[in-house]
Amino acid sequence: MSPFVTFIVAFFVLLICCAFILFVVKAKFWRRVLLISCFTLILSFLASLVTETEFFSVYVYPENLAEDFDITDYAVAKMRAEPSFDDRIILINLGNLSRGQIGDLLNLINEFKPKVIGLAALFNCPGGLRDTVNCPELKDTLGNRNLSEAIRKAGNVVLASELHTTNSYDPHTSTIADSLEASDFLFAEHAVQGFTSISISDESHVDVKMCRTFFPKANLRGTIELNFAIQIAKKFNSKKVDDLLRRTSIDEIVNFRRNISVLDKNGKYQALGYDELLSKSSADTIRFKNLLRDKIVIVGYLGASYGEGSPKDEFYTPLNPISAGRSLPDMFGIVLHANIISMILDQDYINVLPEEIEIIVAFLSCLIHVVILMLLTSRFPKWFEILSVGLILAQLFIYSWLRINLFILFGLKINLFLTITSLAITTISISLSREIYHLSYKRLPVWLQQKI
């Protein structure tokens, strides 16, 4: 539901509530409390509607466009328990290998009988220009054939693709695409493909490549396309993927738990450089056989050489040790896919509190806040301003504590924008309602004056 529609619906619901309060609630104190609460929520809805507009984002508060910080990021990076090592997923760097060398690498990997191989690379000619000038990879006919044959022999490869749209859809919420950038048929005919796009848009909003969510599936001209990580997990455990696809969310929050350590190779996923496999000894053969058999192997970019990180294929994630003002990306693309797969296999999802529940929470919080402020007004008029500010600060602390702990303990993410907005403007709302009351009271019909 769009913010505008939400506001209109909430506005009329609150008007009905006001009418109900006037005619049913007998106690004058509670009648005023409920009316002020409804008035405050109407103002809060209006504020949330204004902040959603392009004018506000571009001209009034352009910082709003920077998707840099969420309070749950701190919980992810600093407060959750240390995750276990996930030995179901092995990451292998392909660096800057040619197509022929990638084919050799796939053949070696396939010798150790992994259950599924994800190859996070596009083997096509950008722009569809299939000539050796614009697409020099076509010159290497033997390398292309070697890679195609390696994919065919493996029989369990998932290739990457990218979805795009030239239409004016919101890249954060739309799952409708009109074009697919896929690998050439020479490679795709022997593999399954899944899109790696974190948004479906040609107007790339990922200048800083911040990633918190992903689309499990998307609509391509009436055909359902699945995410790259979903396709890999489906080959490994289709039942758990079916459980995910039955969830009602358009996009899913990635439950980031693990990363790799490029410097000391002591991360939470096993990562290998291509050179470790290509130059394997007999002792390594036994180790790799035990390491890769029946596992998920994701082959992708981990730097020109593993251990030499590069921002070419890295993302900012909530695992970044610097929660705000991040300067360096912290996660390679294939590690992002690994986190999604781990989340699916563990069924360790993050749930978002429904919008309807958030509105109810906002109303109840606003009601409690108004009751306290009204009591302060009548009993401590001289200390009202100081006590109201202290009350706001205390409630902000409580709400922040709740958001973080609900996220850590139950994997529940709640949006308290409406609650916090109503909290911030309640004092103003009380003063404003008094002024409106005094200005308009004598102009109201006698029967309505009696009700108020």
Show the tokens assigned to 302. 């981990």
- Mapped onto helix, strand or coil, the DSSP state of residue 143 is helix
The least confident of 201-205, 264-268, 379-383, 417-421 is: 201-205
- Mean pLDDT on 43-65: 57
- CB neighbours of residue 197 within 10 Å: 23
Kindly state the average pLDDT of the residues 26-36.
74
272-301 in b/e form (b: 16+ CB < 10 A) is bbbeebeeeeeeeeeebeebbeebbbbbbb
| Distance in angstroms (rounded) separating the CA atoms of residues 415 and 359 | 10
Q: Do 426 and 369 touch, CB atoms closer than 8 A?
A: yes
Residue 325 has a pLDDT of 62
| pTM for the structure as a whole | 0.82
Bridge partners, 159 (sequence order): 119, 193
Cα separations (Å) of 291 from 84, 112, 152, 283?
17, 8, 23, 13
What mean pLDDT comes out for the span 361-378? 84
Dig out the tokens for 235 from the structure: 């080959």
Cα 286 from Cα 117, distance rounded (Å)? 19
Q: Tell me which residue of 361, 313, 308 sits closest to 336, measured CA to CA.
A: 313
Q: Residue 41: its pLDDT value, please?
A: 79
More confident residue, 65 or 242: 242
pLDDT for residue 101: 93
* Confidence (pLDDT) at 366: 85
Q: What's the mean pLDDT in 27-33?
A: 74
Arithmetic mean of pLDDT, 133-160: 90
Residue 203 has pLDDT above 60, yes or no: no
CA atoms of 236 and 88, how far apart (whole Å): 10
Quick one: pLDDT band at residue 62, thresholds 50, 70, 90?
very low
3-state secondary structure of 259: coil
For 97-110, what is each residue's pLDDT tens digit?
999 999 999 999 99
Domains in the chain: boundaries: 3-65+352-451, 71-349
Q: Retrieve residue 332's tokens.
A: 């390679």
